[in-house]
Amino acid sequence: MRTITFAQAICEGILEEMIKDETIITYGEDIAKQGGIFGAYKCLIENEKLKKRVFDTPISEEVIYGSALGAAIAGLKPIVEFHFADFLFTGITAITNQIMKFRYMTGGQVSLPIVLRGPDGVARSAAAQHSQSIETIFMHVPGIKVVIPSTPYDAKGLIKASIRDPDPVIFFEHKSLYKIKGPVPEDEYIIPLGKADIKREGEDITVIATARMVHEALKAAEILEKDGISVEVIDLRTLVPWDKTTVLNSVKKTGGAIVVHETWRRAGWGAEIAATINEELFGQLEIPVKRIGAKNVPHPFSPPLEHFIIPKAEDIVKEIRDLV
Amino acid sequence: MVRWKEIPKEKLRWMYETMVKIREFETIVEQNFLRAEIPGFVHSYVGEEAIAAGIMANLRKDDYITSTHRGHGHLIAKGADLKKMMAEIYGKKTGYCKGKGGSMHIASIPLGVLGANGEVAGGIPIAVGAGLAIKFRGTDQVVVSFFGDGATNRGAFHEGLNFAAVYKLPIVFVVEFNEYASTAPAREMIPVKNVAIRAASYGFPGITIDGNNVLEVYEAGKMAIEWARCGSGPFLIEAKTYRLKGHFIGDPELYRDKREVQEFWKREPIKRYEKFLLEKGILTIEDIKNIKENIRRIVEEAVEFARNSEFPQPEEALEDLFVNDSGYDY
Ligand SMILES: Cc1ncc(C[n+]2csc(CCOP(=O)(O)OP(=O)(O)O)c2C)c(N)n1
Ligand SMILES: [Mg+2]
């Protein structure tokens, strides 16, 4: 099978949907001139037919996000790029108070096929205002589906499902993943939202992760295999809805679980998963459910500080060695 | 016509030295960033030096400024120690923020620099707050808030201008209109020719000036800062300039024509000011040579200092969040 990058996979997924459906438009900051800062729009701007439907906006986040709501109500399918997850904060009211409540408040009168997508996560000392992962907020406040792919294959299948979904979806692309390559078939496929993927099978403990941390978990699993510890790695892929069945079945089998995310540990979404495992499987657990996340401080600039606060494979290895 | 004869000679010289200092600093930062000595990303102020120098020549030490992601020039002109700046940009413990901030977040509260900012227009609300504090405390300090053309499209800009006008705060808003917001040309994103007119809708004066002419910046800055200091309320200066480097160092710059950039190099502010200073006999060629050599040495010393400084210890990441840092679940 051919291999393409994560950025190309996203782009292809959007391109295919835009060609099929003329009501899709996509806009945001710095996308139309160079194809996005991480190249996720390169294939769109190379396509003559899409020129009018891919456009740059002023730096006006509240309006960028809020306008997606109006556009969706009035019959379009907007895909909005949020530039950096950190700048969801500069327009967040349009999402949390408007997009995420509108359908419900109006008694289900409209469907809102909106996709908000863009980069998040730590990347090479981008410091406190360009490194955050804030998916937990959108899992906490009700009203939007949350998607976080880890491979090019998943990214393409999930972006297409997100675009076709009749409800608002927020789609996070970790900056460190854009350049990774992976097999992606030429034929069309869709990955339904709400289905986790077992990225590696194992017997002794289940690691539940998303995005960059899936790769860290797989590295950890390799290392632990040499110690004779067999790790199962589940890539959750979507947080809303999240695939309880796959997770619980796995933990029943292994008897233990660690939830790993790059976002802060305290009150991160891992707490929700851990609590659910405890509620559902109390008595069947051989060890307590653990959580790994960033230390609870903003992202420092200096490389040794940044390295210290973010979770990585070695933290997973250490935690598992301590447990098993 | 600028009445340059009214500007004290020391100021004329100080502005030249400041501009050269910024240029040298940015040039070395660019080189060393490209040599992978500097982490993160940096935004160069090359070409915009006249704005920081001309405005800051009118500020007192106890006045405040808010800066941007393109903030090195503002700090230098406000009197920052190049060693501590460079160390911060290198992520070292000896930097202004102990390595926690980096290029995009340098701040020095004692110098009145209330932070560079990673958020476009992020400094504007902070400037409003400092203005409120000045008013409440009854001092005659002034706040200058620097930001780019792109920032004038954010709600924070419009809300900030309105707020400043409602409370008649001593704030000078300085728009560094450098024609681009990242990849987006101002002509495509801003429907008015001069954003200075945006001040009018909040009921205070706004003027458009040549931001590459340091004397014009000085004169406008003097007027605006006096206006704010004597209690007349906010003022907006739109300084037209051009970003001669990429948005950030390493920017492929596919969105603009190289010839356009070359054209603007012909109008860059330092050569232009140099010509003026020589013509009027304010500085000699010898003076200029000495100033440049001296500054180059200071900047090189700053680099050496940064290189030789220690990185912070990893655990120091858990300090500085709260005043009392112990007992929290970091
Ligand atoms: C709120 C916010 N939105 C988007 C960004 C990403 N961004 C960083 S700089 C920039 C362009 C800023 O343009 P301008 O205000 O003109 O300043 P310049 O870079 O030209 O000095 C953008 C879009 C950001 N940092 N903050
Ligand atoms: Mg600009």
- Asked whether the beta carbons of B234 and B223 are under 8 A apart, the reply is no
Closest-CA residue of chain A to B186: A58
In short, whether A81's Cβ falls inside 6 Å of ligand 1 is: no
Which CATH number is B207's domain given?
A: 3.40.50.970
Is the pLDDT score of B132 beyond 90?
yes
Nearest residue (CA) to ligand 1, atom 22? B182
What's the CA-to-centroid distance between B184 and ligand 2, angstroms? Answer: 9
Residue B321 lies in a domain: no
Residue of A34, A305, A306, A315 best to disrupt the B interface, most CBs of B under 10 A: A305
Residue B130 lies in a domain: yes
B300-329 pLDDT, tens digit each:
999 999 999 999 999 999 999 999 877 677
- Asked whether the beta carbons of A71 and A158 are under 8 A apart, the reply is no
Q: Which atom of ligand 1 is nearest to the CA of B186?
A: 16
- Asked whether the beta carbons of A291 and A258 are under 8 A apart, the reply is yes
B105 touches chain A (CB under 8 A): yes
Q: Which atom of ligand 1 is nearest to the CA of B149?
A: 16
A59, B188: Cβ pair inside 8 Å? Answer: no
Chain B positions touching A296 (Cβ under 8 A) are 328-330
In angstroms, rounded to a whole number, what is the distance separating the alpha carbons of residues A304 and A1?
39
SS (H, E, C) chain B: CCCHHHCCHHHHHHHHHHHHHHHHHHHHHHHHHHCCCCCCCCCCCCCCHHHHHHHHCCCCCCCEEECCCCCHHHHHHCCCCHHHHHHHHCCCCCCCCCCCCCHHHCCEHHHCECCCCCCCCCHHHHHHHHHHHHHHHCCCCCEEEEEECHHHHCHHHHHHHHHHHHCCCCEEEEEEECCEECCEEHHHHCCCCCCCHHHHCCCCCEEEEECCCHHHHHHHHHHHHHHHHCCCCCEEEEEECCCCCCCCCCCCCCCCCHHHHHHHHCCCHHHHHHHHHHHCCCCCHHHHHHHHHHHHHHHHHHHHHHHHCCCCCHHHHHCCCCCCCCCCCC
Write the residue in A30, A90, A297 that is nearest to B318 by C-beta: A297
Q: What is the pLDDT of residue B327?
A: 65
Q: What is the pLDDT of residue A114?
A: 98
In short, whether B73's Cβ falls inside 6 Å of ligand 1 is: no
B327 touches chain A (CB under 8 A): no
In short, whether B182's Cβ falls inside 6 Å of ligand 1 is: yes
Write the residue in A34, A130, A302 that is nearest to B311 by C-beta: A302
* Residues 240-299, chain B, touching A (beta carbon < 8 A): 252, 254-255
How far is residue B99 from each of residues A297, B2, B43, measured CA to CA in Å? 14, 42, 17
A252-311 pLDDT, tens digit each:
999 999 999 999 999 999 999 999 999 999 999 999 999 999 999 999 999 999 999 999
Residue B330 lies in a domain: no
In short, whether B69's Cβ falls inside 6 Å of ligand 1 is: yes
**Angle, CA A66 vertex, CA A61 and CA A72 arms, to 5°:** 135
- Asked whether the beta carbons of B63 and B143 are under 8 A apart, the reply is yes
B216-252 pLDDT, tens digit each:
999 999 999 999 999 999 999 999 999 999 999 999 9
Q: What is the pLDDT of residue B2?
A: 86
Average confidence (pLDDT) over B199-223: 98
Residue B121 lies in a domain: yes
In angstroms, rounded to a whole number, what is the distance separating the alpha carbons of residues B277 and B11?
12
Domains delineated in chain A: 3-183 (3.40.50.970), 197-323 (3.40.50.920)
User: Is ipTM beyond 0.90?
Assistant: yes
Average confidence (pLDDT) over A58-73: 98
Q: Using CA atoms in the order B196, B199, B205, B206, what is the torsion angle rounded to 10 degrees?
A: -10
Q: Ligand nearest A119 Cα, by number? A: 1
B99, A58: Cβ pair inside 8 Å? Answer: no
SS (H, E, C) chain A: CCEEEHHHHHHHHHHHHHHHCCCEEEEECCCCCCCCCCCCCHHHHCCHHHHHHEEECCCCHHHHHHHHHHHHHCCCEEEEECCCHHHHHHHHHHHHHHHHHHHHHCCCCCCCCCEEEEEECCCCCCCCCCCCCCHHHHHHCCCCEEECCCCHHHHHHHHHHHHHCCCCEEEEEEHHHCCCEEECCCCCCCCCCCCCEEEECCCCEEEEECHHHHHHHHHHHHHHHHCCCCEEEEECCEEECCCHHHHHHHHHHHCCEEEEEEEECCCCHHHHHHHHHHHHHCCCCCCCCEEEEECCCCCCCCHHHHHHHCCCHHHHHHHHHHHC
Chain B positions touching A308 (Cβ under 8 A) are 314-315, 317
What's the CA-to-centroid distance between B117 and ligand 1, angstroms? Answer: 10
Q: Which of A30, A57, A59, A120 to mutate to test the pocket of ligand 1 (most atoms within 8 A of CB)?
A: A59
Q: Which residues contact A278 (CB under 8 A, 6 or more apart)?
A: A285, A289
**Between helices B82-89 and B285-308, what is the axis angle to 10°?**
50
B40-50 pLDDT, tens digit each:
999 999 999 99
Q: Residue A215: what are its φ and ψ, rounded to 5°?
A: -65, -35
In short, whether B241's Cβ falls inside 6 Å of ligand 1 is: no
Write the residue in B99, B150, B151 that is nearest to A301 by C-beta: B99
B189, A58: Cβ pair inside 8 Å? Answer: yes
Alpha carbon A196 to chain centroid distance?
A: 12
Nearest of A285, A259, A289, A278 to residue A136 by alpha carbon: A259
B65-89 pLDDT, tens digit each:
999 999 999 999 999 999 999 999 9
B105, A129: Cβ pair inside 8 Å? Answer: yes
What's the CA-to-centroid distance between B70 and ligand 2, angstroms? Answer: 10
B155 touches chain A (CB under 8 A): yes
Chain B positions touching A127 (Cβ under 8 A) are 40, 101-102, 104-105, 118
Average confidence (pLDDT) over B27-44: 97
Q: What is the residue range of B203's domain? A: 4-316
B317, A308: Cβ pair inside 8 Å? Answer: yes
Nearest of A143, A119, A113, A125 to residue A240 by alpha carbon: A143
Query: pLDDT exceeding 90 applies to what percent of chain A?
Result: 98
A87-105 pLDDT, tens digit each:
999 999 999 999 999 999 9
Number of Cβ pairs closer than 8 Å across A and B? 125
What's the CA-to-centroid distance between A34 and ligand 1, angstroms? Answer: 16
Average confidence (pLDDT) over B192-207: 98
Q: Which atom of ligand 1 is nearest to the CA of A129?
A: 25
Residue B32 lies in a domain: yes
In angstroms, rounded to a whole number, what is the distance separating the alpha carbons of residues A119 and A126?
13
Q: What is the pLDDT of residue A27?
A: 98
Residue B230 lies in a domain: yes
What's the CA-to-centroid distance between B184 and ligand 1, angstroms? Answer: 10
Rounded to two decimals, the pTM is 0.97
Domain total for chain B? Answer: 1
Q: Is the peptide bond before A152 cis (omega within 30 degrees of 0)?
A: no
In short, whether B243's Cβ falls inside 6 Å of ligand 1 is: yes
Chain B positions touching A309 (Cβ under 8 A) are 317
* Residues 302-321, chain B, touching A (beta carbon < 8 A): 311-318, 321
B224 touches chain A (CB under 8 A): no
Average confidence (pLDDT) over A233-250: 98
What's the CA-to-centroid distance between B240 and ligand 2, angstroms? Answer: 10
Q: Cite the active site residues of A.
A: 130
Q: Which atom of ligand 1 is nearest to the CA of B154?
A: 1
Residue B222 lies in a domain: yes
Q: What is the pLDDT of residue B106?
A: 97
**Angle, CA A176 vertex, CA A171 and CA A180 arms, to 5°:** 95
Residue listed under structure tokens 């438009």: A25
